[in-house]
Amino acid sequence: MRPPREGKFSHPGGKRLPNPTGIRPQNQAIWAVIILGFAAFGLSWFLMPPVSSLLLPLALFFGLVLAAEWVPVPVGEHGVQISVSLPIVVAVAAVFGPADAAIIDGGATLVAGILAVRSKFRTRWQWPLFNAAQSAMSASVAGMAVLPITHSMGGASGIALATLVATPVYLIVNSVIVAIAESVVYGGRFLARLQEKRRLVGFHYGVYALLATWIGLLAYFGQYWACAFFFLPMAAARRCFLLRARHDRDYRETIRALGLMMQHAHPYTGGHLDRVARFAALTAERLGLSSQDVDLMFDAALLHDLGKIAIDEQILNKPGRLDEQEWALVRMHPVIGAEILSRVGMMEPVVPWIYAHHERPDGNGYPKALSDTEIPIQAKIIAVADAFDAMVGGDRPGEQRPYRVSMGVEQAMRELHDCAGKQFDERVVMAFTQIVREQGAA
Amino acid sequence: MTGPLLFLLILLSTGLTAILVYHAGWRLPRDSRERLRGSVRAFAHAVDCRCHDRYGRSDQVCELALKIGSALGLSKRVLGRLELASYLCNIGMTAIPYQILNKSVAERTEPEQATFARHPEVGASMLELIPSLRSLAPVVQNVLAWWDGTRTPYLPAGFEIPIEARVLAVASAYSGASANRMDGVDLLESGRGTRFDPAIVDCFLDTVWTNTRPAANVGIRTGTA
């Protein structure tokens, strides 16, 4: 796995996080990983020097890893890439030793990275070095972890067990390093980043472990020519992951775009929903929600007013007071929105959030007048972000609401704090105002 | 020792490749289509919620359109497009003001009717912006197009109208007429060759309608034939 390429990275909020640490600590973190990578490589060399008598098979494996690294698979929405080289590296680590695996993985990643920098993507030159170091470190740690197994058991069963153990070790080390690097360079909580990695790679793990086991067995019996047989499933696996990622992304984008455009019937909603979604996702992240919830939070905030398309705009935009009947209609919009979204497969977890986004902790909200503990935290986040942006209003004149005069950011924040505990949740308001101040300063 | 092992490995690798190819080639596209279909259906339901007389109509139109499509012998691919298009063809109604949308044709003034008639155009321009649905934009744009082109000179006519749009015109006209307690068959027969593609109207009346008509309608159809 590799961290997202610089510049291609996008936060759920659509914008890159402002980097609070400046340029220097980033470089320090990258250099720390590079040095640690060399240290791990040295240690594995010390424990078990690389096998030099089998140059031809090692070159073959190097070529295979290079081919896999050259065409990485993007997973998820955040620009994280994985490559299918892992089974080969793990097999080499189990059969030949950690130092060989580190040389092959690190070397191939470096070559692929440098070639990529020159031709495909224009990234900073540290990234190939960083990626090489972190793969070398992952490979050597995975190899060293299974040294006791191969030493004590020996034989084909030892190799099989070693590959099965080394695959998760590699993945864990790799995820932790990438998560640390991302949280240092791009900001965000380390645990949330790690969780995101687990979610992204979980599916691939089984296939990797299987492939690794039998590449290892083939290498153990010296049947290198049989590589042809696992090249086929590997190419198929890569294609499969790629398609899966592409289908997921397409689906998500389609839902977002359709839902967003349907809400554009209301003149002020466009920019409003974008901002609400961005701030809601940032607040959710700050409050420690899981990365899956943060992503869903973004979509939920984009679509939270979908129910309004069933209500006459003349009532929604009415400048004066609404009569009893009109109020009853307006109160229906969370219910209708939840009902519509309950039919969208991906949005199922979001339904209760949409349903409750006009509930209040003091029990005076609608549609159900739920009490504080019954309202999901995500609904409270939407409520705060929505209210804040409605108060501040857009910069463009068309986005100001006809029934309300927009106010300044400071005044709106005071209003939020005054209503905390009654209309809004106190914790959410605290986190939200922090986010607004940071964004304003950036 | 290595002989049987190699055989086993070859067997395994072939098996795994087969599973992965099946997954990537058949399972995944099918699941994605199913997922997209369900979600697009949900958004069509949202449009139905906006109009007073449309509750449940998009499902009905979809069912009719698919029946006509398979009676016409359309390919599976086109039927898939037809299904999505039947759910998406009214998506532009979300941008039409609520008051105009919920008047009957008779109540609308001339400019109001003109605004209403722009909904396919709006819907098509929405779909233009969504890569996975872009190919359906021409279908949505032409759902109100007349077969002979007299009433809609700004749209293509005859066989230039996409087949999905021609089928949808018949299906939604019939469904709309029955929702308003009018005789859908009369409407189709009077529009045959002017508003609707005659081949599709015939196909509908001969196969779909005769198979699905309510028992009470039997006499009417045999009487007019």
Pair B169, B187: CB distance under 8 Å: no
Task: Give contacts of A230 with chain B, Cβ < 8 Å.
Answer: 13
pTM: 0.75
Give me the amino acid identity at B53.
D
Which residues of chain B lie closer than 8 angstroms to A237, CB-CB?
A: 20
Per-residue confidence in pLDDT tens, chain A, 442 aa: 555 544 333 333 333 333 333 334 566 777 787 888 888 888 888 887 777 667 778 888 888 888 877 777 666 555 667 777 888 889 888 888 888 888 888 888 888 888 776 665 555 667 778 888 888 899 999 998 988 888 888 788 888 899 999 998 988 888 888 888 777 766 667 777 777 777 767 666 777 888 888 788 888 887 777 766 777 777 787 788 788 888 888 888 888 888 888 887 665 666 788 889 999 999 998 888 877 888 899 999 999 989 988 888 888 888 888 899 999 999 999 999 999 999 888 888 999 999 999 999 999 998 999 999 999 999 999 999 999 988 887 555 455 565 555 677 888 899 999 999 899 999 999 999 999 888 875 5
d(CA A347, CA A332): 19
What is the phi/psi pair of residue B176, to 5°?
Answer: -65, -40
A278 CB-side CA count, 13 A? 17
What gap in Å lies between CA A412 and CA A160, rounded to an integer?
A: 62
- Give the residue from B138, B23, B158 showing the smallest Cα distance to B81: B138
Which chain B positions have a beta carbon within 8 Å of A310's beta carbon?
46, 49-50
Chain A residue with minimal CA distance to B28? A244
ipTM: 0.84
Q: Which residues of B touch A233 (CB under 8 A)?
A: 13, 16-17, 20
Cis peptide before A12 (omega within 30 of 0): no
Report how far apart, in Å, the C-alpha atoms of A202 and of each of A82, A198, A241 are. Answer: 12, 6, 12
d(CA A291, CA A317): 36
**How close does chain B come to A23, measured CA to CA in Å?**
37
Across the interface, whether the CB atoms of A233 and B94 are under 8 A apart is answered no
Exposure b/e, A9-38, CB count within 10 A at least 16 = b: bebbbeeebeeeeeeeebeebbeebbeebe
CB A177 within 8 Å of CB A193: no
* CB-nearest partner of B23 from A240, A251, A312: A240
Q: Which of B11, B22, B43, B47 to probe by mutation at the A interface, max A CB count within 10 Å?
A: B43
DSSP state, residue B152: -
Phi-psi region of B187 (alpha: psi -120 to 50; beta: other; left: phi over 0): alpha
Find tokens 């793969």 and name the residue.
A135
Per-residue pLDDT for B25 more than 80?
yes
Interchain proximity B6–A226, CB inside 8 Å = yes
Alpha carbons B34 and B127: distance in angstroms, whole number: 19
Alpha carbons within 13 A on the beta-carbon side of B204: 29
> In b/e form, how buried is each residue of B67-91, taking b as 16+ CB within 10 angstroms?
bbbebbebeeebbebbbbbbbbbbb
Tokens 């919009």 correspond to: A333
The neighbour count for residue B97, using CB atoms within 10 Å, is 14
Contact state of B28 with A251 under an 8 Å Cβ cutoff: no
What confidence tens digit (pLDDT) does each residue in A230-282 have? 777 777 877 887 888 888 888 888 888 888 888 876 656 667 888 899 999 99
